[in-house]
Structure 1
Amino acid sequence: MKLISETQRLIIRQLTLDDAEFIIQLLNEESFIRYIADKNVRTHADAVNYLMNGPLASYRDYGFGLNVILLKETTTPIGICGLLKRAELDYPDLGYAFLTEFCQKGYATEAAFSVLNAGMKAHSLDTVLAVTLLDNESSNRLLQKIGFELKGTMALYGSQNNVYEYMSA
């Protein structure tokens, strides 16, 4: 497993197949289904398939992808955060999701800022996008807080989304 970055409170590392049970829990959170999508990951086999064809394939193809976020003190997994490459977007985009019990504690901001900076440096990126539903107020606030600028909206996966851009200085 590859370490991506560490913060004062978090360890951020690449996902492995050993994270399957956590992925089942996270992808079935009400907020994940509401604001991201229902990935239909219900069983261990579904989670392994999701990991193999999602994050692990992204690491292989692009050198980056979603990472697991762990509390440093306990190594408890609390969310995912990483850079994604989608065919619909011209640049990689920042994605994240956290278990509800760990929201509103600053972990998402801490992880997103760390992953964004580590990813841009490691992969020589000068632009990263982020896409979020118009009514996902906490994600819209988080992106602005860490320096993303709202560029407009676009239809993606059947919904209108805000499109944010972050450019290195």
Structure 2
Amino acid sequence: MASLKAALPLFLFTERLVVVLFDYTEAHYDCLLAAMNSPTAHANMGDYGIRTPAQFDALNAASRLSPAVCGRTPDTDVYYLIRIGDQTGPMIGAVSLMQRASGTPPDLGWCILEPFMGQGYAAEAGKELLRMAREEIGVREVISWPGAANSRSIRVAQKIGFEEGGSIQTKDAGQSVVYILPGMKFDPDMDLSLWGLQDA
């Protein structure tokens, strides 16, 4: 089976951004951990206790795309850092495609450093990552799980092209609204336990 890592482009480009494949360097970890652990992130999406590169790697290892979804050996994470302007511009956050459980479609996520929130960067990068995943990797179904009370992330999901699919009961977050792509069938029984960690 072909390698997922070999299929992922190193860079994605949008009008204002260069979206760079995560490279496991200290600078990339620092940006991601800062975005995940900002006061705004904790208030809106919760504190998942991810503070170190090792914890971040464990989360990703438990949430890689399955071969059934991507048609390839899941030998890497689909995580991209967002830079403004060009490949040397400031890193402002990240977008990702992760699969929380083997029977659940992968979900598109994003986290942005606080000074850069509210400027459309998450939607711009997320839309390009979704395009790449569907056109270049062949991922058919993608969901988003912004949280029922996270109005900013709900707006991002809608700008990317997601629409409200319905509500499900999750093991770790109670009642939650799932956003799906147009034409997808909503499954109220999908398992959205925390980021695939129940399969670790």
TM (norm. structure 1) is: 0.83
Aligned AA (2:80): N
CA contact (8 A) 1:127 1:167 kept: no
Q: Looking at secondary structure, tell me which structure has more strand per residue.
A: 1
Q: Residues 105, 70 of structure 1: CA spacing in aligned structure 2 closer, same or farther, 3 A cutoff?
A: same
Q: Does 1:68 align with 2:81?
A: yes
* Larger RCO (alpha carbons 8 Å, 6+ apart): 2
Between the aligned partners of 1:103 and 1:90, the Cα distance in structure 2 is: 29
CA contact (8 A) 1:16 1:51 kept: no
Aligned AA (1:164): Y
Matching residue within 164, 168, 180 for 1:150: 164
CA contact (8 A) 2:146 2:157 kept: no
What are structure 1's unaligned runs of at least 5 residues? none
Matching residue within 15, 31, 36 for 2:40: 31
Between the aligned partners of 1:144 and 1:96, the Cα distance in structure 2 is: 13
Residues paired across the two proteins, number: 165
Aligned AA (1:24): L
Deviates further, 33-42 or 96-105: 33-42
Partner of 2:10: 3
Q: Residues 55, 2 of structure 1: CA spacing in aligned structure 2 closer, same or farther, 3 A cutoff?
A: farther
What are structure 2's unaligned runs of at least 5 residues? 1-7, 66-72, 185-200
CA contact (8 A) 2:33 2:50 kept: yes
Aligned AA (1:29): S
CA RMSD of aligned residues (A): 2.6
